[in-house]
Structure 1
Amino acid sequence: MDNYVDLIIRADPDITTPTLLGNLYGRVHLALVSQGCGEVGVSFPNHENHVGLGNVLRLHGSQSRLSTMLDAIQLGGLRVHLDIQGPLPIPAQVNQYRVVKRVQAKSNPERLRRRLVKRQGISPEEARNRIPDTAKRTLDLPYVNLVSASTGQHFPLFVKHEDCRSLPQQGAFNTYGFSSRATIPWF
C-alpha cells in the first residue's frame, strides 16, 4: 500500500457535501465489488475537521490497483463535482496508521428477538424478556448515506476511524474498503 488517490468534493450551493459523498461512495463501493480484490482501503482524512465524514474520500493501494479502480468507478455526471488527485506516493514521513471500519448498531430489538427465536428455538415471550425494547442502541459516529443495490433501501453506513498506531497491520479490505484489522497510512 504505497499510493493513494484523493477524491475531493467541491463545494456546491445546490447539493450538500454529504449527498455528494454518499453518491461518490456508492460508486466506489460498486467498483470495489466489481474488482473483488481486497487490496484497496478507504478512509476519510477530513472526518475530524468536519461534521460527518468531510469532503475527501481517500483510496489506498498500489499504483496499478488504484489506476484500475479509477477506471472502474462510474463517475458520470459526478465528475464535475470532484477534484481527483493521484495516484500519488504515500509521503515518506508517514509514521501513523489506523484501522477504518464499519460499525453496525444493534438498533432493532424486534429483529434481534426474531433472530433469537429462530436460532435458539425459544418462545417470543422469552425473547422479549431477554431483549427488552430498551436494548436499542444508537451510534454517535459519522456516517454516509447509501442506497442498497439489491433492495433500493437507503441506509446509513457508520464509519469508525480507530486511534492511530505506530505500526502497520497487513490484511484484506472488504467491498466497502474497510477492515477490522488492516491499517491504512494516516497523513
Structure 2
Amino acid sequence: MTTHYIDLTLAPDPEVSPPHLLGALYERLHMAMVQHRIESVGVSFPQYSLAPRTLGHRLRLHGQAAVLERLMAENWLKGARDHVRAGTIAHVPAVATHRTVQRRQFKTNVERLRRRRMRRKGESAEQAAQAIPASVERRPNLPYVWIRSRSSGQPFCLFIGMGPLQSEPVPGTYNSYGLSGTTTIPWF
C-alpha cells in the first residue's frame, strides 16, 4: 500500500526545455528502478493536462517511506541536481482519491507498420497496404515523455494515460517506469 510520496520538480532552465528535462529525469528514474529491481514505486504527474497537452514540471514518486528513502539515497540523480528540486518524503493526504497511471501505446505510423509487415511476412507493398489500411493510424492526444530505449537505443514517445478516479486503492506492483494499468497511486 502506498503511504508516502516525494515530489521532484524541474528547475527553470533557459537553455533546456521542460519536456527535455523531464525525459532525462524519467530515464534516470527508469534506470534506477531496473538496476535495483524496484516494483513498489509508482509515478504520477500532478500537473497532467490534456488541454494543453502536458505532463507538467513535476514528477511525483509514490511508495512506502523506507523504499522512497532507499531510492533517493541512490546516486541516480547525479548530474541532474542542478535541474531538479527534490522535496521531502511526506504522508499521502488521507482524503486522496486513487487512479492508475499507465503507458498507452498507439499505432501511429501506417507506413512503418506496412514496412514491418513486408519484412516479417515477405509481402509486397501492395499486399501490406491492403492488409493495413490508412484508417488504423491513430493520432494520440495524450501527454508523453520522450525517452530512449535502453534495449534498442531508439528514442520513443512514452504516452501516459490516466485511469478514472477511484475511492479505494488497488494494491499491486508497477513496471520499471512506475506505471500500471491495474495498481493505483494516490491522486491529489
* Cα distance in 2 between the residues matched to 1:59 and 1:97: 14
> Structure 2 CA distance, aligned partners of 1:10 and 1:163?
30
User: Equivalent pairs: percent with the same residue?
Assistant: 41
Query: Is the alpha carbon distance of 1:51 and 1:73 closer, same or farther for their aligned partners in structure 2, counting shifts above 3 Å?
Result: farther
Whether the aligned pair in 1 keeps the contact of 2:117 and 2:123 (CA below 8 Å) is no
Alpha carbon RMSD of aligned pairs, Å?
2.3
In 1, Cα distance between equivalents of 2:180 and 2:156: 20
Structure-2 separation of matches of 1:86 and 1:127: 53
1:53 aligned residue = 55
More helix as a share of residues? 1
- Corresponding residue for residue 79 of structure 1: 81
Correspondence 1:12-31 to 2 at 5 A? 12-31=13-32
Q: Cα offset for 1:19?
A: 1.1
TM-aligned CA distance change 1:27 to 1:86, over 3 Å: same
Structure 1 residue 163 displacement after superposition = 2.2
User: Is 2:48 aligned against 1:64?
Assistant: no
What are the superposed Cα offsets for residues 18-61 of structure 1, whole Å, 9 maximum, x if unpaired?
11111100100111111223111010001138641001000000
* Bigger mean CA offset, 48-57 vs 167-176: 48-57
Number of residues of Structure 1 aligned to a counterpart in Structure 2: 185
Aligned-partner Cα distance in 1 for 2:115–2:26:
32
3-state secondary structure, aligned to 2:82: helix
Matched, 1:36 2:40: no
Q: 1:116 to 1:151 in 2, by over 3 A?
A: closer
Aligned pair partner of 1:89 in 91, 100, 112: 91
1:29 aligned partner, one-letter code: H
Structure 2 residue identity aligned to 1:171 = G
1:186 correspondence with 2:163: no
> Is the contact between residue 27 and residue 73 of structure 1 (CA under 8 Å) also seen in structure 2?
no
Deviation of residue 113 (structure 1)?
4.8
